[in-house]
């Protein structure tokens, strides 16, 4: 599990108001979002971009940072 991914999910939750709202914006279940956070599933590139967008972060920079950590 990537600390950066957990921080991204938490930041998106803060911006959206709840994990459920984040999941709805992404078109996934809250359970899948929880799986991403707890490391039982790896988010797709699209999922990471969606999280960055919801969190109002630079999408390309965030994607690079997360993928770099997931590959290690």
| Average of per-residue pLDDT values in the chain | 95
Q: In 17-34, which positions are buried (b, 16+ CB within 10 angstroms) versus exposed (e)?
A: eebeebbeebebeeeebe
Q: What is the tens place of the pLDDT at every residue in 17-50? A: 999 999 999 999 999 999 999 999 999 999 999 9
Go through the domains of the chain in sequence order and give each one's CATH number. Answer: 3-70 (1.10.260.40)
Q: What percent of the chain has pLDDT over 90?
A: 90
Predicted TM-score (pTM) of this structure: 0.93
Contact 12, 36 (CB under 8 A): no
């Amino acid at each position: 599990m990537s600390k950066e991914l957990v921080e991204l999910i938490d930041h998106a939750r803060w911006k959206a108001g709840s994990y459920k709202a984040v999941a709805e914006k992404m078109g996934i279940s809250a359970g899948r979002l929880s799986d991403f956070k707890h490391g039982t599933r790896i988010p797709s590139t699209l999922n990471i971009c969606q999280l960055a967008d919801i969190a109002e972060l630079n999408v390309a920079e965030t994607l690079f940072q997360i993928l770099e950590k997931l590959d290690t």
